[in-house]
Structure formats: C-alpha cells, structure tokens
Amino acid sequence: MSFNIAIDGPAGAGKSTIAKQLAKELGFVYVDTGAMYRAFAYYFLTNNISAADEAAIAAACPNVTISLTYEDGVQNVWLNGENVSGFIRNEEVGNMASATSVYPVVRTKLVELQQELAKTTDVIMDGRDIGTVVLPNADVKIYMTASSTVRAKRRFDELVAKGVECDLDEIEKDIIERDYRDMNRETSPLKKADDAYELDTSELDIDGVVNAMKEIIEKVR
C-alpha cells in the first residue's frame, strides 16, 4: 500500500516549496497537480481558445494528453509529447489555469491521472482538491494558508529573483481574484477537508513549515 500525503491551499501559501523539500527528505514523489492544470491552460492559450468558451474547451479536451515524468526527483510535465515545464510558470498561464480548471471536463481527466499515480507510489501531492476529491483517503491531509499580503510578497520576491519586472499591488489583487475563483467554483472548489490539519505559514520560514509538517506526518506514520 502506498502512503499518500495531500496538501491543499491557496496560491502562494508555499505548498510546492514545502512539498518538494519534504518529498526529498521522506523519499516520496512530489506530484504538483497545478502544473497539470497549467499545461492544459498552456494548450488553450497557444491554440487561441478563450477561457469563457466552454464549448471550445470541451471540444479541445480529447486532443490533450498530459503526462508526468521524474528526473532526479524533479517533475517534468508533458503536453502531447512536448516537455512544457519551462513554459507554464508565469502569471498568464497561472490565471488561465485558474479560469479553465472550473470545467469538469478538464478536471475529470487530470483527477484520474492523479489517482492512478497515488495508487502505486508514496506521494506528496499538492493542489486545491487533493484532500477533498482526489485522495479523500490520504494518510495525512494538510491545508496550508497564509495572508494574501504575505503570499503576494513571496510571489513578488520570486519574480524579482528571476529578473521579472512586477508590481506588488497587482500581484496581491491577482491572488485575491484567484482565491475567489478557486474557492467559489462549482466543481471541486478549494476548501479544507474536515480531517485536514490547518497550517498558517504567514509567520513561518521554510524550515519552520517543514518541521511543523514533519511533526504532523510522524504522528500518523
């Protein structure tokens, strides 16, 4: 039986940074489900399909195949045979992923793939609906949060470090909009599973969060 850790929370709460580090320390595979929704979004963007055009999205879905591979623990996302990992980490794709992940036709395909992975592998999987929909029987569920101000500052620092010009207020506005959409959509909205531990990371640094998570995991392992 595989051991599954589900991490959910809003954009910028620190899920992927923490999950990556924990996966390394525990010898688990880190599954970044946001990257799958981003790859899908990248397909829609590059094929000029609007997020509002549900019929076009539904018609395009059968043409999209997404898969994951791992190289030294690093996840690569493949879209119709092309490694798109380098193209999906920007705000345009992130916002498109948030806007197109509302459609059940998009979600069904990806949820199946995620569940398949977790069946056979010890995973730390992060996203929005992992503890509630994808892995309702996960061994450990953690819901990570942080204030929108802290999350905006983290994203701002990340972008600045990459040399991207950006505006802190714009980023916070985007984050608040994205939270609203992710939490209020009809299908699999972002919410804390009843049996998830809630961890507010606003006042913690990376090691602080990793240690808090390890304590939670050790309790059930």
- Going through 80-184 in order, the beta strands assigned E by DSSP cover 82-83, 123-127, 140-145
Residue 38 vs 141, nearer CB to ligand DC: 38
Smallest distance from the beta carbon of 135 to ligand DC, in angstroms?
Answer: 11
The two tokens of residue 166 are 């950006």
97 touching ligand DC, by CB under 6 A: yes
In the region spanning residues 21 to 80, those forming contacts with ligand DC, defined by CB under 6 A, are: 33-34, 37-38
| Residues that contact ligand DC, how many (by CB under 6 A) | 14
DSSP state of 133: I
What is the smallest separation between the CB atom of 9 and ligand DC, expressed in angstroms?
Answer: 9
Q: Are strands 123-127 and 140-145 parallel, antiparallel or unpaired?
A: unpaired
129 binds ligand DC (CB under 6 A): yes
Single out the segment in contact with ligand DC by CB under 6 A; choices: 21-29, 90-98, 153-161, 210-218.
90-98
Comparing CB distances to ligand DC, the nearer of 27 and 149 is 149
- For residues 149 and 221, which CB has a smaller minimum distance to ligand DC in the complex? 149
- The span from the CA of 189 to the CA of 133, in Å, is 10
* Encoded tokens for 171: 């980023």
Rounded to a whole number of angstroms, the CA Rg of the chain reads: 17
Closest distance to ligand DC from the beta carbon of 39 (Å): 10
Q: Is 14 helix (H, G, I), strand (E, B) or coil?
A: coil
Q: Please state, as a whole number, how many other Cβ atoms lie within 10 Å of the Cβ of residue 214.
A: 14
Residue 166 Cα to chain centre, angstroms: 22
Q: Which residues bind ligand DC (CB under 6 A)?
A: 11, 33-34, 37-38, 94, 97-98, 101, 127-129, 178, 182
